[in-house]
C-alpha cells in the first residue's frame, strides 16, 4: 500500500529553504483564520508560477527553478496541506479547490498573465486554473499531468481498499514511506539521494501532513473529470505538454489525450524517465518553458 504514496509524495524532494529564494506566506481565503500558502520567489523577468505535484513542495522544482531565474521571476507556491503551507483539518483538498487558491494567489501577488507550469497533478490544477480564470494566466506547460485523476491505477487501487491504504499512510514509518515513494517515480537505474529521502520523511512528520495526504486521496477518488474534459476541448491558448514515454504513474495516454483535445498544443516526449522528468530532464523542461514564455 505504500506504493500509493508515489502519487502523494513522489514529486517531493525535501522541506528546507532554498538558497537565494525569498519566502512569504500569502493568505488565499477570506474565511476566519484563513488559509495561507507558502511561496518561494526567485529571479527577475516575466512571471512563471511552478505548481508541484501532490505531496510535493517548493524543492520539487530545485532542478528547474535555477535554470529559469536568470530570465524569469519564479514563484513556487506549496499547495494547502503540503510543504510549509497551512494544513487545516476539514479543508477542501480537491484539485479544483487547490486551483481556486492558486487563482487567489495570482491575484493577491498582482501577477500579470504568468506562465503556469504544473507537474503531475499540479498540471491538472493548472488546467482547472485555466478553466476558472482564463484571463488571469498566460501559456501553460503541463508535465506528466493526468487529465482524469480518478482513472489512474493508483487512485483506483485506493478506492478499492481505502481503509488499508489510509492505515499505511497514517501509521507507516516516515522514512519507509519516503523511500518507497522516492524510488517509485524513477526509472530503473536511477537511485534517489539519501538526503532527499530524509527530507521527505521530515515533511511527512509535520503536524497535519498525513491527514492532508489522506484527505487528498479521498478527494481524488471521488473526482469526476467530465467537465474538465469538456473545458479542455474548448481551450484556446498556447500549451506545451511534456511526458516521459515510460511513465507508470501517469501513463503517456493522458498526454496524448490532452494534445488531441487542445487545439494547437505541442507534445514533447522526454524519453525514459518514468514520473521523474522534472528531475532527470530539467534542462529540456526549462528550455520549453523559456520558449513558450517569450
The proportion of the chain whose per-residue pLDDT surpasses 70, expressed as a percent, equals 90
What does the pLDDT look like over 140-168, one tens digit per residue?
999 999 999 999 999 999 999 988 888 88
Q: Considering only residues 98 and 190, tell me which one the structure prediction assigns the higher pLDDT.
A: 98
Q: Which residues contact 192 (CB under 8 A, 6 or more apart)?
A: 179, 182, 183, 186
Cell numbers placing 224? 469526476
Q: What is the pLDDT of residue 7?
A: 46
Q: What is the pTM of this model?
A: 0.91
Give the separation between CA 270 and CA 283, rounded to whole angstroms.
11
The pLDDT of residue 188: 76
The single-letter DSSP state of residue 265 is: -
Classify residue 236 by its DSSP letter.
-
Q: How far is CA 210 from CA 39, 81, 105, 247, 266, in A?
A: 21, 9, 24, 25, 37
Contact 58, 22 (CB under 8 A): no
Return the pLDDT at 12: 43
Q: What is the DSSP letter of 238?
A: -
105 or 16, greater pLDDT: 105
More confident residue, 66 or 204: 66
- The tens digit of pLDDT for each residue in 236-275 reads 999 999 999 999 999 999 999 999 999 999 999 999 999 9
Report residue 68 as a C-alpha cell: 529559469
* Each residue's pLDDT tens digit, 77-136: 999 999 889 999 999 999 999 999 999 999 999 999 999 999 999 999 999 999 999 999
The confidence score (pLDDT) of residue 17 equals: 54
Of residues 102 and 14, more confidently modeled: 102
Supply 66's cell numbers: 535555477
Among left, alpha and beta (phi > 0; psi -120 to 50; other), residue 258 is alpha
Amino acid at each position: 500500500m505504500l506504493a500509493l504514496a508515489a502519487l502523494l509524495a513522489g514529486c517531493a524532494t525535501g522541506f528546507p529553504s532554498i538558497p537565494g529564494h525569498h519566502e512569504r506566506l500569502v493568505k488565499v481565503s477570506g474565511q476566519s483564520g484563513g488559509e495561507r500558502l507558502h511561496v518561494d520567489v526567485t529571479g527577475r523577468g516575466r512571471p512563471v508560477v511552478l505548481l508541484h505535484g501532490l505531496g510535493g513542495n517548493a524543492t520539487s522544482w530545485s532542478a528547474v527553478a535555477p535554470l529559469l531565474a536568470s530570465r524569469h521571476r519564479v514563484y513556487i507556491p506549496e499547495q494547502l496541506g503540503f510543504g510549509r503551507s497551512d494544513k487545516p483539518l476539514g479543508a477542501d483538498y480537491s484539485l479544483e479547490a487547490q486551483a481556486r487558491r492558486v487563482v487567489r494567489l495570482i491575484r493577491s501577488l498582482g501577477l500579470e498573465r504568468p506562465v503556469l507550469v504544473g507537474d503531475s497533478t499540479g498540471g491538472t490544477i493548472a488546467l482547472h486554473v485555466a478553466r476558472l480564470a482564463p484571463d488571469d494566466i498566460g501559456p501553460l506547460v503541463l508535465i506528466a499531468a493526468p487529465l482524469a485523476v480518478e482513472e489512474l491505477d493508483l487512485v483506483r487501487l485506493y478506492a478499492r481498499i481505502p481503509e488499508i491504504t489510509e492505515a499505511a499512510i497514517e501509521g507507516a514509518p516516515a522514512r519507509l514511506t519516503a523511500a518507497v515513494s522516492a524510488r517509485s517515480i524513477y526509472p530503473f537505474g536511477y537511485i534517489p539521494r539519501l538526503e532527499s529521502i530524509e527530507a521527505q520523511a521530515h515533511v511527512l512528520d509535520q503536524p497535519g501532513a498525513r491527514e492532508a495526504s489522506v484527505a487528498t486521496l479521498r478527494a481524488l477518488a471521488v473526482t469526476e473529470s467530465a467537465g474538465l474534459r469538456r473545458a479542455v476541448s474548448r481551450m484556446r491558448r498556447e500549451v506545451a505538454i511534456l511526458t516521459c514515454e515510460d511513465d507508470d504513474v501517469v501513463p503517456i495516454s493522458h498526454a496524448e489525450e490532452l494534445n488531441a483535445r487542445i487545439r494547437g498544443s505541442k507534445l514533447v516526449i522526454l524519453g525514459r524517465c518514468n514520473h521523474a522528468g522534472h528531475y532527470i530532464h530539467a534542462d529540456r523542461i526549462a528550455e520549453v518553458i523559456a520558449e513558450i514564455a517569450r
